[in-house]
Amino acid sequence: MARHYKRPDYWTLKAHREGFPARSVYKLQEMDEKFALFGRGSLVRVLDLGAAPGSWSLYAARRWGQNLALTAVDTAQLLPACAAALSSSAGSFVFVQGDMTALPVREAVSSHGPFDIVMSDAAPATTGNSSVDSLRSLALAEAALDYAAAFLVKDGNFLVKVFQSADSAALLSRLRSLFLRAQSFKPKACRSESFETYYLGLQKRSNLSAHTPASLG
């Protein structure tokens, strides 16, 4: 059975106070502070996969303002207030609505690349069956890594949410071959009972690949 979290916790209340639609922003903030995910360039080109309702994109826009070129993807709409804030504060902002594993979405994204950071907080709707949920999460994480392999610049960073399972270890091995550093990290704002974690790939080894992704249909 799917879990429902009824009582707003510390992170949810903080997000409301600070004008973010989702508590997940503090996971990104902690990883950015620890790993300097956005680099130090004067223009930051960001691909945000599974972006709705929009907290991660809004975090990037508040941090980089006019120096941000943002492409966000989700099957769902962004929160209208978020989309409006992104349109007015980012240097450029494109929203692609659709399934990130579908070829037309990938083609739409490719025209806005390359990117300095590819980040994916995409998560399947959970069923409560951890084997099913983990496999669906892994498929999304593999699709996100395919985007990074194709559209991330050399030295660019990658961040992806994964529901941990025996199978997710293979994804971390793939990250190790593509990035100088790869590791998993569970931010404080993750719910303690959740089996989600994040995999980070830091400093991509080579430039755009001719790789044909297996995960895209």
Q: Is 54 in the site for ligand SAM (CB under 6 A)?
A: yes
Q: Is 168 in the site for ligand SAM (CB under 6 A)?
A: no
8 Å CB contact between 122 and 49: yes
Burial of 30 (0-12, 13-18, 19+ CB in 10 A): middle
Alpha-carbon torsion (40, 175, 158, 32), positive or negative:
negative
8 Å CB contact between 21 and 53: yes
Q: Is 134 in the site for ligand SAM (CB under 6 A)?
A: no
Q: Which is nearer to ligand SAM, 155 or 185 (CB)?
A: 185
Q: Restricting to residues 2-21, name those near ligand SAM by CB under 6 A.
A: 21
Cα–Cα distance, 94 to 78 (Å, whole number): 11
β-partners of residue 70 are 46, 93
Minimum CB–partner distance for residue 36 and ligand SAM (Å): 19
Cα–Cα distance, 166 to 23 (Å, whole number): 27
Minimum CB–partner distance for residue 129 and ligand SAM (Å): 17
161 catalytic? Reply is yes
- Region near ligand SAM per CB under 6 A, out of 1-9, 47-55, 126-134, 174-182: 47-55
For the chain, the residue count is 217
- Region near ligand SAM per CB under 6 A, out of 9-17, 72-80, 85-93, 147-155: 72-80
Q: Is 73 in the site for ligand SAM (CB under 6 A)?
A: yes
Choosing from 6, 34, 161, 204, the catalytic residue is: 161
Minimum CB–partner distance for residue 205 and ligand SAM (Å): 26
Pairing assessment for the beta strands 179-185 and 196-204 based on DSSP bridges: antiparallel
Distance of CA 134 to the CA centre of its chain: 17
Q: Is 196 in the site for ligand SAM (CB under 6 A)?
A: no
Cα–Cα distance, 39 to 22 (Å, whole number): 24
Helix (H, G, I), strand (E, B) or coil at 199: strand
Minimum CB–partner distance for residue 31 and ligand SAM (Å): 12
Q: Is 99 in the site for ligand SAM (CB under 6 A)?
A: yes
Report the residue from 11, 15, 22, 168 that binds ligand SAM according to the rule CB under 6 A.
Answer: 22
Residues at the interface with ligand SAM (CB under 6 A): 21-22, 24-25, 50-56, 73-76, 99-101, 121-124, 140
* Catalytic residue set: 161
